[in-house]
Amino acid sequence: MRDPGDVSKDELRELLGKGWLTHDGAWFFSVAAEMGMEAANRLNKAAIKAMAPFETRRTMKVLQVDSADLTDCASLVSFVTAGLGLIMPDSILNNLHFDCIDESTIHWSWEPGRCFAFKGMSQMGRIDDYECGVLFRILCWLEVMKIAARLEPDPVKCLFHETGVCQGDFTLTFPG
């Protein structure tokens, strides 16, 4: 057996990130089974919104980023990418892309069919009624950072399931 001290940071991040995602999916499935999809979607978004201030501020603290440092698309993409890199496994991050279109627009895209929520909800047989929590989480981070954002398209249901493509733009208004 390996000594826990011999586990690399990357292995530990993968283990913890996958564990969190497994818990998240199991929680969602349990709520959906007990209370229905409408309640599961509503409670999922409520939990994301309640968690966002803690998650965002902790991530900013660890990365030593202040809201005043996030003044344009490039700085925000750098922070979001690094922040998600701390808490999400590479198997997820390698399939999600953020690119600056201009100083106030971030284009996001998932590799076709590679979104963990799409895959998980499809496996659970719940994709038809699943409301995207992934993009909502990022919107909540932006809200905590006081960066106004408009999402286009602004999906309710899973975009990949509905259209075969999961991509769009965050149009941002930075404070000040």
CATH code at position 120: 3.30.1380
Question: Could you list the pLDDT tens digit for every one of the 176 residues in the chain?
Answer: 999 999 999 899 999 999 999 999 999 999 999 999 999 999 999 999 999 999 999 999 999 999 999 999 999 999 999 999 999 998 888 999 999 999 999 999 999 989 999 999 999 999 999 999 999 999 999 999 999 999 999 988 999 999 999 999 999 999 97
Residue 3 lies in a domain: no
Beta bridge partners of 152: 169
Tokens of 148: 């106004």
In a domain, 124, yes or no: yes
* Whole-angstrom distance, CA of residue 117 vs CA of residue 148: 25
DSSP letter for each residue of 90-129 = HHHHTTEEEEEEETTEEEEEEPTT--HHHHHHHHHT-GGG
In a domain, 2, yes or no: no
* Domain span holding position 87: 9-173
pTM of the model: 0.92
Length of the chain as a residue count:
176
Per the domain annotation, does 65 fall within a domain? yes
Total of domains in the chain: 1
DSSP annotation of 147 reads: -
Q: Does residue 1 belong to any structural domain of this protein?
A: no
Joined tokens for residue 105: 């627009």
Domain assignment present for residue 95? The answer is yes
- The verdict on residue 92 lying in a domain is yes
Residue 4 lies in a domain: no
